[in-house]
Chains A and B, each alone.
Chain A
Amino acid sequence: EPEVTQTPSHQVTQMGQEVILRCVPISNHLYFYWYRQILGQKVEFLVSFYNNEISEKSEIFDDQFSVERPDGSNFTLKIRSTKLEDSAMYFCASSDEGDSYEQYFGPGTRLTVT
Chain B
Amino acid sequence: QKEVEQNSGPLSVPEGAIASLNCTYSDRGSQSFFWYRQYSGKSPELIMSIYSNGDKEDGRFTAQLNKASQYVSLLIRDSQPSDSATYLCAAEGNGDSGYALNFGKGTSLLVTP
- CB contacts (< 8 Å) of A95 on chain B: these are 99
Question: B46 near A103 (CB under 8 angstroms)?
Answer: yes
* A51 in the interface (beta carbon within 8 A): no
A105 touches B44 (CB 8 A): yes
Interface size, chain A (Cβ < 8 Å): 25
* List of B residues within 8 angstroms of A35 by Cβ: 101
Asked if B99 and A101 sit within 8 Å, CB to CB, the answer is yes
B interface bracket (residues with beta carbon within 8 Å of A):
20 to 34
Contacting residues, chain A, for B32 (C-beta < 8 A): 100-101
Does B100 lie within 8 Å of A58, measured CB to CB? Answer: yes
Are the C-beta atoms of B105 and A42 separated by less than 8 Å? yes
Report Cα–Cα, A31/B42, bound state, in Å.
22
Is B78 an interface residue when CB atoms closer than 8 A count as contact? Answer: no
Chain B nearest Cβ from A106, distance in angstroms: 6
Q: Is A56 an interface residue (CB 8 A)?
A: yes
Q: Is A99 in the interface zone, CB < 8 Å from B?
A: yes
**Distance of B50 from chain A, by nearest CB (Å):** 10
